[in-house]
Chain A
């Protein structure tokens, strides 16, 4: 036995670490997700075209994630790639360093969470730039929009997602179609008036931001294909001047 002295420091007796842990109250404990960029989901913010990102969830039993007996994110991603979406893999080297080191890799984060209705606990997955704050059972969802927009801009700058004139034209055309449907409705509430004004402003900003966009070129995700009109010769045989 060692003759070296061992010192014991009394510690206050408190509840165990589990019960002291803070859990974020959420409506539903979600599943691991990643972001995708849909080909025509774009917005203009500060004069820049930024992709509107959507989550895809990785959960056994959903979209073939449990593939051939093992979980396989690629089985899920492939569904969306077939639809010209760009799946933003958090480990993509083009995202740079990890979010903890100033880059955008590993952009998915998690916090310990609970569903108060069930008392169940688990992890709630969110983006690194989200910071929910709980006060007396109510949650304020804080979000570093500047960081999020920088992330979206990086996706464009790093050629992970692609915007060009053709895509922008289609986005604007779809927005205009929705606007024209709205314009047929009587503007009898403030919400409608505001919404219509916002839609017009959004389209106007998009048109203005067209200037900085490159002409279409082959890229990841949506691949624009230019069609050159060719003269149609001899397809219609109803009018042949030389036979008259």
Chain B
């Protein structure tokens, strides 16, 4: 008789495959654009979902009316911006049997909420890129992005008095074109600076955070399409161009204790774990209350390049 083999024994004595307990994440956008926007704390319980930001021009011209002449009163130049929070959420439901059999773990749900929240928030921020008006958009419609477009964006912000560092948010394709263009920038010693080398050597495109001449280069798949979906609209912004806030939920949870199983791991996130007894399932809801708005237009510039 032939020897017992893995194949012959497998039907009764083995299983076709055993389960490796680790979860391998499929490809997804990992970049968090939170640092691109300026965070303004939201005051809960103040009577409104809208928060007004006060802006003031600190510099005014001195007058020289003469030694014995009273000067004219100079009024402050002021402006304001508003950020309104709105609810966003993600709702999952998993049966008890799925938990019992080990097919799903709570940690995966919570981890998924946090990553989805980052993706959502970053999408809100990148959606503002097409609205910058004061500074002339750089890049060219239906043309690949070049390092020149990034330089021109930097020049626009410098001319507008925007202090560095800047944040440049590009679609991954735009960023690849930027790197490709950098490869051609070998004619002058300046272009061989460390920053350029780092830009060319940057790895892990999904979470790029690379500094280049005082510009934090970032990528995000949510960069919107413009010009009838033919172009991507990236942006370069200084601090204060975009504001964001998150309505805090901790006080609300303490005050109302509406569900003893409520989790408040994050200051701005409510994850509710609700049991549906009749179905034998648990539902998990992540509530998030962000607000994103343009605060000062002149602090940002649009960067356009072709999609296809």
8 Å CB contact of B127 from A39, A52, A57, A64 = A57
By a CB distance below 8 angstroms, the chain B residues around A75 are 84
Looking at B87, B137, B188, the one whose CB has the most chain A CB atoms below 10 A away is B137
> Which among A12-20, A125-133, A153-161 touches the partner chain?
A125-133
- Which parts of A165-201 form the interface with B (CB within 8 Å)? 174, 177-178, 181-182, 185-186, 188-189, 191-192, 195, 198
Asked whether B240 is an interface residue with its Cβ less than 8 Å from the other chain, the reply is no
Whether B229 lies near A130 (C-beta < 8 A) is yes
Asked whether A143 is an interface residue with its Cβ less than 8 Å from the other chain, the reply is yes
Complex formed: what's the CA distance from A53 to B127 in Å? Answer: 15
Whether A63 lies near B184 (C-beta < 8 A) is no
Question: How many A residues are at the interface, by size bracket?
Answer: 35 or more
8 Å CB contact of B131 from A39, A56, A132 = A56
Asked whether B151 is an interface residue with its Cβ less than 8 Å from the other chain, the reply is yes
Closest CB of chain A to B200's CB: distance in Å? Answer: 15
Whether B124 lies near A141 (C-beta < 8 A) is no
Whether B148 lies near A62 (C-beta < 8 A) is no
Complex formed: what's the CA distance from A7 to B289 in Å? Answer: 55
Asked whether A204 is an interface residue with its Cβ less than 8 Å from the other chain, the reply is no
Q: Mark B106-141, 1 if CB is under 8 A from A, else 0.
A: 000000000000000001100110110110111011
- Interface size (B, Cβ < 8 Å)? 58
Asked whether A80 is an interface residue with its Cβ less than 8 Å from the other chain, the reply is yes
Asked whether B146 is an interface residue with its Cβ less than 8 Å from the other chain, the reply is yes
Asked whether A67 is an interface residue with its Cβ less than 8 Å from the other chain, the reply is yes
Complex formed: what's the CA distance from A148 to B226 in Å? Answer: 13
8 Å CB contact of A41 from B124, B137, B225, B294 = B137
Residue of B nearest to A186 (CB): B187
Asked whether A54 is an interface residue with its Cβ less than 8 Å from the other chain, the reply is yes
Query: With A67-B50, A192-B184 in contact, is A117–B28 under 8 Å at CB?
Result: yes
Closest CB of chain A to B252's CB: distance in Å? Answer: 17
Residue of A nearest to B181 (CB): A191
Residues of B within 8 A of A (CB): 26-28, 49-50, 82-88, 123-124, 127-128, 130-131, 133-134, 136-138, 140-141, 143-144, 146, 148, 151-152, 155, 181, 184-188, 221-222, 224-230, 233, 289-294, 297, 302, 307-308
Of all A-B residue pairs in the complex, the 6 with the closest CB atoms, nearest first, are A66-B86, A60-B86, A189-B184, A186-B187, A61-B86, A64-B84
A selection of 19 A-B contacts at a CB cut-off of 8 Å is A27-B222, A28-B221, A30-B225, A31-B127, A52-B227, A54-B131, A54-B226, A55-B224, A61-B292, A62-B127, A63-B292, A64-B82, A64-B293, A66-B49, A79-B131, A117-B28, A143-B229, A181-B151, A189-B181
